[in-house]
Chains A and B, each alone.
Chain A
Amino acid sequence: MKIVIAGAGAVGTHLAKLLGQENHDITLMDEERERLSSITETAEVFTVIGSCTSPVDLAEAGASSADLFIGVTPEESRNMISCMLASSLGAKKTLARIDNHEYLLPKNRTFFEKQGIDSMIYPELIAAKEIAMAINNPWTRFMWELRGGKVYLAGAKVRENAPIVNLYLKELMQVTKQFHIVAIKRGADTLIPTGKDQVLKNDIVYFTTLRENMGVLPTLLGKSSFEAKRIICMGGSRITERAIGELPPHIQVKVIERDRERAEQLVEVLPSNVTVFVEDGRNTEFLLREGITEADAFLALTENSEANILGCIMAKQHGVRKTVAEVENIDYIAMAERFDIGTVINKKLIAASKIYELLLQADASNIKCLAFADANVGEVIARPNSKVTKKLVRNLNLPPDITFGALIRNGEPMLVEGDTLIEPYDQVVVFFLNRALKHIEHLFN
């Protein structure tokens, strides 16, 4: 597949690396030579220096024969114009990164398609949804709804006091069948566990579960669930604005914004459950006066990653149970996780994985992927007479980097166990490390 990416910022670069691993033909274009030079050293990507709004430069980058054109410069209007141009040059599909949620409304969709912009992605909105999910389920690190909320994929850190700590997965299967551990992140490594693997303290376990089992999970992980009623939010960015829109309206939110003009704008748009303060979010005296000790959650969403990490650490010290930090500097993410910050939000990674997902949809295969941690989640439909339908799961001899999390049979979700037999047309939620894609094709087709 031939893909042209316009804009070698954090999103574009990350995406180019991600796609480069899969033998796609990637062209990355940007006006600045320096931004392109770092990527050519690390990945096999073809680079073009040029403006993404110039038809000549676009043609040179190969937009006319591209299967997919992606506009991810920092500027919305440039992205949209470059998509229109690429589309008129002959690009089959286009995707633009935008800054305005109105464009995503269904009534505007056909208009943009007519203009040659097939899909749009608004990273701030996706980030806001993740934050809301994290606040509503404060015991998790992150949480995704699959199949429209029938199956949940969640990741959480295992506490020392958790009943499941030190158990082998095969023992765990005998204790409870309410969830299925599909991946474990231990330090810097991610593994797809088998029955012989053990759950250790401080592991981040990723598991699938059904909606009705959500209630019992916090205890198994050594945590208690609580409803966040008071939230303090440092920084009044667009993510803040969107995240508040995604949260239930009865939550009391205090937004701390340093810039008075921005604060005035926020007062204008935010609902009545939100109070806006003009102050530096790092002013401890002020935070104590405004009741940080009684807050249930602390969101650090300023543009300064360091300040966000420090803010969350301070909030933890004052007893705030759930912290969320926006960390735009990718190198800091591992560090932030080590400091026990509940949820780390990175707009660029979110955007890149969302684009990756759209991209795989555009591919002819019936696999839909979400990239999380370092593993992938895919939904695969089992074809009749495919290998996977012939034997019980335990007898399939799955390769070590693949596991089945759950399946949907006739619209009913169920978790997959060793003695499950997959039937034709089951939609199976598969977890796999990179490079295992071929095995999946082999099993299901």
Chain B
Amino acid sequence: MRKFNYRFVLNNVGILLMIEALFMLFSALIGEYYREEARQAIYLSSGITLLAGSMLTFANRVLAFAGMEQDNRKRSITKREVFLSVTLAWVALALAGTLPYLLSGAIPSFTNAFFESMCGFSTTGSSTIDNLETFPRSLHFWRSFSQWIGGIGIIIFVMSFMPIYSGGASGLFFDAEATGIAMEQVKPRVREIARNMFLIYFGLTLVGFFLLWAGPMDAFDAACHTLSSISTGGFSTRQAGLAYYASPYSEYVIIVLMFLGATNFMLLFALVTRGSLAIFKDEEFRWYASIILLATVGIAVSLFVTHRVGDAESSFRTALFQVVSTVSSTGYTTVDYQAWGPIYSLLFLGLMLFCGCQGSTSGGIKVSRLLVLAKNTQLVFKRQVHPNALYRVKINGKVIPENTTSRVMAFAFLYVTLAAVSAWILSMTGMTLDESIGVSFSSISSLGTGLGSYGPGGSYASASAFAKYYVCFLMLVGRLEIFTVLSLFVPSFWKR
């Protein structure tokens, strides 16, 4: 029997922390540029993180030297080590991410700093900060940058540069962090795919930055908003959010960025590099676009007819912005749609359940899973009439293996159950009915905009400490797509 490979886990968490320390230096550079005091705190954070990381990797060496653990052979790595590594790495990432906030004193409470950090890395975009206008710029950048790292996933990010994971393990790592179902079938070429996804991500970020800069935003705001919208995170540098700029141009650019952030990066890569039109034939993309179109047209027409937000263009823009922001799980808002009535709030609650495409930065159950669930349900009805027929769920003309279908059903079951139970738990912390439901659904789908006082323009400042930590847990589970984290709590996962 094989023993659990602790050394592997220690080593991985250590390496990722060292890389995070490097990322922090980018924020420090911003601090240097604006001559902010916070830069000292960031240098210190970076140093501490680097030290912690190197200690972990050093511990790995010491253990190996002392012979306390078995030889770190590459093939003795299983899902157990990988899932634990990824979960711990994300927790460590969020923990280290609190340092700049704490040491600079910008967010004095550890609870709030951890909440802010997790909202960043999980690309949820909720916040407890209510003085964004006076918040140091270097820390603004750190918030948005953490979303950018969390959007594509730090492991995919690292994998695309460094050959730190060997063949088999990299596939498992990719599974644990990437979004969607088809990702489970790409193992042999994961490094190449990770690199392609990152290239698209980086390219979109650059283009987005220049487009936003061309509008009323200054370079700094443009950079932060680009990082937060392409990662479908949703942090803003302004207390009033995007409404501050009152610029239709900026809103349209951000709509495009959020829309692209929630599409399948592998198909985008094929479109950009090879001119492949596969993305337009992809069933998931078509459904994703159709859902957005349908919801936008419906809301725009009803807004225009009831004269809630002004002329036809602004009705359309407001509707499109809210729908894309919700479906992509970004969470930016330009208006408080709760004021329009519960029919809209419930519609957005439904939209946040499924969100974007697989292989994107968005959260939620994903449209591809929705497709599998819907098609499978249709087949259940068909089978009643034709018991001898051999029906299989097909997407893009390809049969989805039964195994995958049952995984998708388990995923959806867990997702909805967890959201429902979480709403009930949150209601015990003093939230109202709509608040607890809104917070639970929007956290697990990494959207961040719930209902009630946690809705558009709201803040988590008033939530209890327990609620904040619980929401952090939900965000992590949602970002790593349920199984990675929850597997660790299932006894049979550990049984030999």
Which A residues contact B (CB, under 8 angstroms)? 260, 263-264, 266-268, 271-272, 275-279, 286, 290
Contact = CB atoms under 8 A, between A and B. Distances in A.
B391 interface: yes
A352 to B, nearest CB: 35
A325 to B, nearest CB: 23
A279 B387 CA distance: 10
Contact of B389 (A260, A268, A271, A277): A277
Contacts of B394: 267, 272
B343 interface: no
B490 interface: no
Contacts of A276: 389-390
Which residue, B388, B392, B394, has most C-beta atoms of chain A within 10 A?
Answer: B388
7 nearest A-B pairs in the assembled complex, by CB-CB distance: A276-B390, A279-B388, A277-B388, A267-B392, A268-B399, A263-B390, A277-B389
B73 interface: no
B399 A278 contact: no
A267 B388 contact: no
A275 B399 contact: no
Contacts of A290: 386, 388
B391 to A, nearest CB: 7
Contacts of B389: 275-278
19 contacts: A263-B390, A264-B390, A264-B392, A264-B399, A266-B390, A267-B390, A267-B399, A268-B392, A272-B394, A275-B386, A275-B391, A276-B389, A277-B389, A277-B390, A278-B388, A278-B389, A279-B388, A290-B386, A290-B388
Interface of B: 386, 388-392, 394, 397-399
Nearest to A275: B389
A275 B382 CA distance: 11
Contacts of A278: 388-390
B388 A286 contact: yes
Given A267-B399, A268-B399, A277 B392 contact: no
Nearest to A290: B386
B189 to A, nearest CB: 22
B392 to A, nearest CB: 5
Contacts of B391: 267, 275
Contacts of B392: 264, 267-268
Contacts of A271: 397
B399 A277 contact: no
A277 B387 CA distance: 9
A286 B388 CA distance: 9
A374 to B, nearest CB: 43
A275 B390 CA distance: 7
A135 to B, nearest CB: 22
Contacts of A264: 390, 392, 399
Contacts of B397: 271
Contacts of A286: 388
Nearest to B398: A268
Given A264-B390, A266-B390, A268-B392, 9 more contacts: A263-B390, A264-B399, A267-B394, A267-B399, A275-B389, A275-B391, A277-B386, A277-B388, A277-B389
A263 B386 CA distance: 15
A279 B392 CA distance: 16
A271 B389 CA distance: 15
A269 to B, nearest CB: 9
Contacts of B390: 260, 263-264, 266-267, 276-278
A290 B385 CA distance: 9
A176 B388 CA distance: 51
A260 B390 CA distance: 9
A235 to B, nearest CB: 15
A84 to B, nearest CB: 33
Contacts of A279: 388
A271 B399 CA distance: 11
A266 B389 CA distance: 12
